[in-house]
Structure 1
Amino acid sequence: MKALLMFITLTCVSFAHATLSSPVSTRANHKANKEVPSLGVPKSVQETWAMFSPYYPAATYVKPPKGCSVDQVHILQRHGARYPTSGVGKRIKAAIKKLQSVNQYTDSKLDFLKNYTYVLHKNTLVPFGAAQSFESGEEAFKRYGSLVSKKNQPFVRASSSSRCVDSATNWTAGFSDASGHGKWPVLSLILSESANDTLDNAMCKNAGSANPQAKQWLASFAAPITAHLNAAAPGANLTDKDTDSLLAMCSLDTVAQEKASPFCALYEELNGGPGFAYLADLDKYYGTGYGQALGRVQGVGYVNELLARLTGQPVQDRTQTNTTLDGSQATFPLGRGMYADFSHDNQLIAIYAAMGLFPQAKALDPTKPDAGRTWQAWKMVPFSARMVTERLKCSGGKESVRVLVNDAVMPLEFCGAKGDGVCTLDAFVESQAYARNNGDGDWEKCFA
């Protein structure tokens, strides 16, 4: 245990200064109830945190059908739980300052603010997020360790944000620990977010945003909550955007402190969860998802890399890929048994959309949630979310593919899969025509 603590402290220097408990000490608590992380907040509330929800399986992992076995696996994972981004943190502090500037509160649930100090850092992993990544590495070894040998180690990449890099190194530590330190994969490649990067969504200059739809829904669901808060703190003059920031504190403060945030009492009293969750669904759908004209094209580069790895053929792509890196066996090796890539939620959404996952019969309505929608951010991109593509060898030598998102088997109807979610490799490759055609002209629109 001492050696493990040293490793995580050294590799996750981005949060070494924090005053929170170490990743190792929290890890035992997570394992006590891994299905729903024990943070002092009910699962029903955690689900409304959307992309700020902690990871837990969306379904129980099911082994491949009889006659099939995994012979190659591709793990695409979001970084673990983090502190607020710089912009979000600034808005949260401004909203809290407004509430603390008043003379009195008429709602006792605000009384904690009299002595409250905002202590969250920005952008980097919290210890809970490091533990999530470590546990994911453990799980990967236990489930797919037979695909790895001394000469066939996992090839691990990360986008260059520190939270992605630190998630990758914690994953490799967890993988090694689960193997009894017989295997020790390393972070092989960091992709710069200021250059061609298939693990980030910063390259499409003309891509729009979800702001119009988000503003429309925010004005609807947040208005009564804002009114309640302004009545509870006379003179605070909060806006709906302030309300959104305060609601986000329930999740962000909880994963940082690893206990229920005092903001969660307000979150639940004001029933902010359903509205907050749908705001995130809209943000992802109209940000880099199906609702954004240039959303899914930002996932094409990774899909083409995935096809190359699955088929053992050179990458064919004219979008986000770095042709120098992807053209070298040293920086883009083919024939490995396991690949692991660490990315961001917005990029995972673009990749899902490029592949055809989580289809929506109707576009999300920014004025009214569809209770039956398949597009729900908490199931798609919680902290430490993962899409796993398994290449299967089935009876008769048939090569097949299965895709899981947070352990839930994707139906893959677009390539002829039946109830088991399995389709032939050839059919899967054929189904990815949008990626193979470099976005059918959409990539050029990013710069036109």
Structure 2
Amino acid sequence: MRYHISRRQKIIFLIIFAFFCIILSACHSDQGFHLHDHLGTKRPYPITTPHADELIPPPQCTLSQLYLLARHGIRHPTRGDVTKFNKLIDLFKDVGNEESWWRQWRNPFKKFQAGLLARTGEAELYLMGRRANSRYKKFLDNATYDANLFDFESSAISRSGQSGVAYSLGLFEGQGSLGQPLFQPVYIHTIPLNEDDQLAVKYACPIWRSIQRNNPTRERELSFYISKYFPAIADRISKELTISPPLLPIHAEYIHRACGFEISFYNRSDTWCSLLRPDDFKIMEYFNDISNYYTYSYGNRLNELMACRLVTDLVERVEQAIETRNRGEEPWVRGVLRFAHAETVFFLTTLLGLNKDHEHLKANWTSSQISARKFRSSQISPFAANFYFEIYTCDSSSTMIRMLKNEVPTIIPGCGELYCSWDVFKKIFKHSINCDFKRFCKHKKNKVTANLVQWELNQEWDII
């Protein structure tokens, strides 16, 4: 039996076919876009499971020491951010009808909680500790907690110390003697901010602060970028919602910031996030990358030195353990577990040479250059970002080191392979080891004082 298809039916079929092609094309154009991946340093940590595959050391090698640097988990917004969110409420208070979500939205963030670790941030570090418990099970079975064996340290800012505690609860869960499931209390060491040349390093470096208070290159790039991209976003939102007077360009950044914290705290994308399109998120992400690049990374040569005391500490701890073992003595420090800030991660990333582009990030880069960049804050320093350095002792009496960046095995630049000879590692970073931090940070006009540190804590570009 043959069916006759009329000309009218053919036209209808072609229209329907074209419609679905458009829909599929639109879907495909956003395929692979994940909002969480474009929130910069406000990105929640991407791994959320409590388990990890157990470590399999290389042949004839045993894990003998673990060195961790981790950023704190999700934190409350700064006082400046809370003010911006209140401004959004004021801007949207008469827009649309009373049932509109923006007229119902109330700022859940309080200034008196500014910068404190959030519940979701506690969970990030606890789960990271649980994964470490799974990954390093055999290592931990042979070295239960002892304050002389596991050295916990944090900066003297509460969110870092609490992050260390949360991590320890997961790492030693079931191995202690208190309550259920047998919690293990740990000692966490801190030193004053203005003396901390490793974890809160910028507070101990007057010349760095002087440079960042007056960074014309950063300000020029950011100003150009804002003028190029932000007006279109603000104008579009203003027209779509009939906002009068219309939003200013900078208000688009306020919306992106509010979106980031709505995601981090509540996993909500149906409020401020809903006002932004995928391309808007990419624009805002690159804006934050430019800022971080010139403040904390390759945009300033000084930043290549800022983690030198941290790397020196790593080398000294490993060398001490090697010498202790070679003398046949015990115990040696099995774990050095340190909790700090976003810029600590940026500084170490920069010293190691990771995520480095061939040229400096620029506001006038083409879209293809921006898309191809290696420097992405969302990947480098999300909340709970971390570096693990695994130290292995091998049968040939040699020592090997492997690095995990955000729990992913990563080749140390210059090593050529995942498991790097300890001697090769020291040779690669010989110019950073035993650096004279006080000398290159010295600035005659800026003594390190409590007032100057407090000034730093109040700055809007402070993302720690």
Question: Please, what TM-score do these two structures have when normalized by structure 2?
Answer: 0.74
Amino acid at match of 1:86: R
Correspondence 1:135 to 2:136: no
Matched, 1:310 2:311: no
**Match for 2:156: what amino acid?**
S
Q: Cα distance, 1:160 vs. partner? A: 1.5
SS at match of 2:404: strand
Shift of 1:406: 0.7
Match of 1:104 in 2: 95
Q: CA deviation at 1:350?
A: 0.7
Task: Assess if the C-alpha contact under 8 Å between 1:225 and 1:272 holds in 2.
Answer: yes
In structure 1, the residue matched to 2:355 is: 358
Return the letter of the residue paired with 1:99. F
Q: Does residue 436 of the first structure (1) align with residue 433 of the second (2)?
A: yes
In the alignment, is the contact (CA less than 8 A) between 1:95 and 1:238 conserved in 2? no
Q: Which residue of 2 aligns with 1:204?
A: 205
State the AA in 1 paired with 2:95: Q
Equivalent residue of 1:249, what SS? helix
Q: Per-residue CA shift, 1:12-54, capped at 9, x if unaligned?
A: xxxxxxxxxxxxxxxxxxxxxxxxxxxxxx9711001121111
Matched, 1:238 2:247: yes
Aligned residue type for 1:65: P
Go from structure 1 to structure 2 and tell me whether the alpha carbon gap of 1:249 and 1:261 turns closer, same or farther (over 3 Å shift). farther
Select the structure of larger CA radius of gyration.
2
Please point out which of 45, 56, 59 is paired with 1:55. 45
CA–CA separation in structure 2 for the residues paired with 1:127 and 1:204: 32
Q: CA RMSD in A?
A: 3.0
Give the 3 Å change call, closer, same or farther, for CA 178–370 of structure 1 in structure 2: farther
User: Where does residue 27 of structure 2 map in the other structure?
Assistant: none
What are the within-5 Å matches in structure 2 for residues 117-128 of structure 1? Answer: 117-121=106-110, 122-128=114-120
Q: Distance in 2 between matches of 1:428 and 1:277?
A: 33
The match for 1:277 is: 285
Identical aligned residues as a percent: 18
Q: 1:257 aligns with which of 263, 266, 272?
A: 266
Distance in 2 between residues matched to 1:290 and 1:349, nearest whole Å: 9
Over 3 Å counting, the alpha-carbon distance change for 1:49 and 1:447 in structure 2 is: farther
Letter in 1 for 2:315: L
1:236 and 1:187 map into 2 onto residues whose CA distance is 55
The 8 Å contact of residues 390 and 402 in structure 1, kept in 2 or not, is answered as: yes
Question: Residue deviations 1:120-139, cap 9 Å, x none?
Answer: 13211221111111111112
Deviations 1:74-108 (A, max 9, x none): 110000011111222222322332232xx434xx9
List aligned pairs for 1:149-160, cutoff 5 A.
Answer: 149-151=144-146, 153-160=149-156
Query: Which amino acid in 2 is paired with 1:71?
Result: S
Q: What do the CA deviations read for 1:179-210 (whole angstroms, capped 9, x no partner)?
A: 47567251320232243341112233333344
The code of the aligned residue for 2:89 comes to I
Q: Which sits farther off after the overlay, 146-155 or 384-393?
A: 146-155
2:169 to 165, 168, 173: 173
Paired letter, 2:371:
A
Displacement of 1:437 in angstroms is 5.4
Aligned residues: 380
Question: In structure 2, what is the equivalent of residue 113 of structure 1?
Answer: 102
Report the 3-state secondary structure (helix = DSSP H, G, I; strand = E; otherwise coil) of the residue aligned with 1:228.
helix
SS in 2 for 1:244: helix
Give the 5 Å matches for 1:379-398.
379-398=379-398
Distance 2:269 2:194 in 1: 37
Aligned AA (2:36): Q
Report the residue type matching 2:203 in the other structure.
A
State the 1:306 CA deviation.
1.1
What corresponds to 1:16 in structure 2?
A: none
Deviations 1:250-280 (A, max 9, x none): 1202222244351121123x63211122122
SS of 2:153's partner is strand
Give SS of 1:275's match.
helix
Q: Which runs of 5+ in 2 are unaligned?
A: 1-31, 213-217, 323-330, 446-464
Query: Equivalences for 1:317-336 in 2 at 5 Å?
Result: 335-336=332-333
d(CA) in 1 for partners of 2:174, 2:352: 32
Say whether residues 1:45 and 2:35 are aligned partners. yes
Query: What's 2:371 paired with?
Result: 371
SS at 1:434 equivalent: coil
One-letter amino acid of the structure 2 residue matched with residue 139 of structure 1: R
Counterpart of 1:343 in structure 2 is 340
Query: How much does 1:226 deviate?
Result: 1.2
Match of 1:401 in 2: 401
- How many angstroms apart in 2 are the aligned matches of 1:410 and 1:252? 29
CA distance 1:167–1:413, change in 2 (3 Å): closer
> Residue 87 of structure 1: SS of its match in structure 2?
helix
Could you tell me which amino acid in structure 2 is paired with residue 431 of structure 1?
I
Match of 2:103, SS? Answer: helix
Q: Identify which range, 108-117 or 240-249, moves more after superposition.
A: 108-117
* Alignment-derived partner of residue 77 in structure 1: 70
Is 1:88 matched with 2:97?
A: no
- CA deviation profile, 1:233-255 (whole Å, cap 9, x unmatched): 43244322221111111120222
Q: 1:404 to 1:158 in 2, by over 3 A?
A: same
User: CA separation in 1, counterparts of 2:397 and 2:100?
Assistant: 66
- Quote how far apart the aligned CAs of 1:394 are: 2.9
Q: CA deviation at 1:143?
A: 2.0
The amino acid across from 1:149 in the alignment is: T
C-alpha displacement of 1:150: 4.6
SS of structure 1 residue aligned to 2:387? strand
Contact 1:80 1:125 in 2 (8 A): yes
- Once residues 155 and 260 of structure 1 are traced to their aligned partners in structure 2, the CA distance between those partners, rounded to angstroms, is 39
Residues 260/63 of structure 1: CA separation in 2 closer, same or farther (3 Å cut): farther
Query: Could you tell me whether the CA contact under 8 Å between 1:249 and 1:261 is conserved in 2?
Result: no
TM-score normalised by the chain length of structure 1 = 0.77
Instruction: Classify the secondary structure of the residue corresponding to 1:400.
Output: strand
Q: Which runs of 5+ in 1 are unaligned?
A: 1-41, 315-333
Q: Look up the match of 2:420.
A: 423
